[in-house]
Structures are given as C-alpha cells and as structure tokens.
Amino acid sequence: MLSPSLVEERAEVIRIAQKMITDDLVVGTSGNVSVRSGELVAVTPSGVDYDGLTVGDIAVVRLDGTVVEGDLPPTSELPMHLTAYVEHGVQAVVHTHSLHATALSLLRDDVPAVHYQLAEMGGVVRVAEYATFGTDQLARNMSVALEGRGACVLRNHGTVAVGSTPAAAYNRARQLEWLCELWLTARRAGEPSLLDDEELSRCAAQFHHYSTR
C-alpha cells in the first residue's frame, strides 16, 4: 500500500525523469531523480525505462538507505543522492548524463563564467574528480564539488543539480547543460570572454533580490 504522503512526490519524480528523456539530458535508462520528504526520499529505480514508470515503481528510502517501499530497487547512484541530502540540506536531486557537460568535464576542472546564469548556482561550477559509478567515493567527490553550489559536473560521467524542488533542480540541470554547450561552442572559434568574480557577485545579489520579492 502506498504512503499517501509520498504519492505526490513519487509522481513528480516520474514527471521529471521523463522530462530528462524528452530534453535529451539522458540516454536510455541513465540518470536519476529524487526528492526528500521529511526523513524519507523518493527516488527513481535502477535500469528501468522511464516512460513506463508507475508510482509504485518509485522507491522510498530512509536517509540511511534502508528501503521502505517500492516495487523496484532504487538507483545504483543512491549514495550520491543521500549524501546531497545529509551533507548539503537540499530537497531534490537531479542527476543527468548530458552530452555537453560531460564533454566539458574531459577538458576542464570547472564550468567557466561565460554567462551570468552561473551566479544562480553560487558561482563557477566545479568538476568532481572521477570515481566509479554507484560508489561511496563518487558520492564523496560529488559532495566536495557541490559545496556552496547548486550543481556540479562529474568527470567522465554527467551532472548533479540540487534545489528546493525537483523542478528547481531540473531547471539548474538544463541551465548547466546550456552553459557547457555555450563554452564549447565559443571555444571552437577562439578564446571565450569570461565574467569576473565581482560581476558574478553582483548577479548573485540580483538573483537573490528577485527570489525574495
């Protein structure tokens, strides 16, 4: 029997997971989505076609990883999701395998300041050091890169974006992919002009002002 308090959250996880497919942020069954509700987390299952997901397929786990409900096992990337919740106090996590962000991770240690949108993520987005998928080491590397930021890139892997809701985290994931594509496009023609830290700080203040109006 489904927990009534998590039916809505599980349905939202499905909606965002399916958007990742339509927006080309993942291929096949890659990537995953989760949302926290109190001490529980609703998260996509492992290796399942998102188009056919039902609410009952979405796993519900405790913050220690114990499975509470769900017809299917949670994603293999559960350690990353739980680390983001426990160490960074976020409410939703979106993990993609987006093309341009992953390509950039092969070339750089950060996403350069090619656009003021980076300010909404807390500044220049870092690239986490590579570790095998599904491991605690990957979760630790992600946590270091995510400190003080709304997203990070995983080297040779993909991205992690966080937020107050799945929709907010997803918007950051899409923005991050666009920023990476922008840098790669400009870099093919020459050396991109970058914004300095002072301008990013001004933009961050502007974002904060608009979000509190």
| DSSP H or E stretch at residue 207 | helix 197-211
Pick the catalytic residue from 9, 77, 120, 177. 77
The DSSP secondary structure of 38-62, one letter per residue, reads: TTEEEE-BSS--GGG--GGGSEEEE
Cα dihedral sign for 64, 39, 172, 198? negative
Residue 77 annotated in active site:
yes
| Region of residue 159 (phi > 0: left; psi between -120 and 50: alpha; otherwise: beta) | beta
Task: Determine contact, residues 180/125, Cβ cutoff 8 Å.
Answer: no
**Where in the sequence numbering do the catalytic residues fall?**
77
